[in-house]
A and B are shown apart, each in its own frame.
Chain A
Amino acid sequence: MSAISCRNLCKTFRQGEEVITGLDHVNLDIEGGSFVCLSGPSGSGKTTLLNAMGGLDTPDEGEITVGEYRVDRLSKGELADMRLRSIGFVFQSYNLIPVLSARENVEFVMQVQGLPAPERRSRAEQVLAEVGLSGLEERLPGDMSGGQQQRVAVARAIANQPALVLADEPTANLDTRTAAQLMDLFVALNRERGITFVIATHDVRVMGYARRLVSMRDGLIVADEQQESHSMEV
């Protein structure tokens, strides 16, 4: 069974007088444990598709299934619950809570999930160690580099042990070396934990890591190819 299944997804936006096509009858299946890149220029529909998978945005038409969830049929509250328990998000600009330390940022999500305090703490430290931030747990986001902040964001995303991580331009604000380290981390998490990664990007360095590359333009999937993944040349 596919981890993600999209059938005839359609979505249009209105921008003033203009009607912009976000998704145009998109069909896509992603197997569990995949490492997929959605590529394409701005406005191609890749972020719209990612948001639809994450239940952040509802399509106008079509069906979308993520794991056991029929995303297009869920209520707002059920969507929030799904995001909280089954999906990890990594955003372009990290989006950490500036007044909380690295550990607290990770713990905060777990607290919302309702985990008891002692378990929160040990798991946060464990996850932070996994993303290579041991010793930096008590730093505030403002005192960390962009790469470190993005690692905290990754730690936050995987803290709830999701089966799926959705990342939207995760490397856009990072230099090549840091970007490579982040992608290595993604690859490692994909291999070791079997987490499915779907990454929307127009960064060619990132596309190289993907085992499957889905190219989009004007809301249509224009290419969908399997490839050998290879790390960036640094």
Chain B
Amino acid sequence: MYKFLVACSVLMFSTAAVGQELTADEIIRKAMDHYRGQTSHAQMSMVIHRPDWQREMGMKTWTEGDKRTLVRVTVPAKDAGNGTLSVDGNMWTYTPKINRVVKVPSSMMSQNWMGSDFSNKDISKDTDIIDQYDHELVGNYQQDGHYVYVIQSVPHEEAAVVWGKEVLHIRDDWVMLEQQFWDQDDQLVKTLRTLEIREMDGREVAAVIRMSREGVEEEWTEVRTAAIDFDVELAENLFTLSNLRNPRE
């Protein structure tokens, strides 16, 4: 879930920073630093689109720092109550139908999350990019009066990462505009794009983001953020297995 939360976590950043000579590491770190230590609570919907059908789910998300996420499905009724908890890179799923919590094994992390175009890893681990990649500023451009950094991130040799590289487009107010995933043969696999940016809770938020695989643009998954509150008080036991199993919300 952090994958799109990176994009969501909007940081009002003074333009004073621009103009200073920022390194690629610093740009990503700045974005993440603003994003760390924060909490958030959002109402979202996920739309999975295929040429012959489409499915929409409503969900609530909670985040704390870069290591904790809880997603709870609210709509449709058939699926309400299903939840995913991710803490420190581990992931658990709860299904009320069988009333069980199941840990998602690491071998399954690159599988789709709930039939969407996001992988389990996309949902739970994106801040790995800070520690496990080397970053390089490869370009910049102007867009809508903003300055946009283009950063190429290549994983360390020993990093347990499936990608060959990622390319990030980050606006000077730290809204992520685009994130490209390239495989080890240097082929573009999929791209996460920000389609709509809106102000919510006083910040510029990537309100609609869309993940689509290269070459099959008619298949995509969008996450639309209806409302988001930042720096909210969160219950202490929110990110625990027992809470996952017994939703009070």
A and B touch in the complex (CB under 8 A): no
Tell me the B residues contacting A by CB distance below 8 Å.
Answer: none
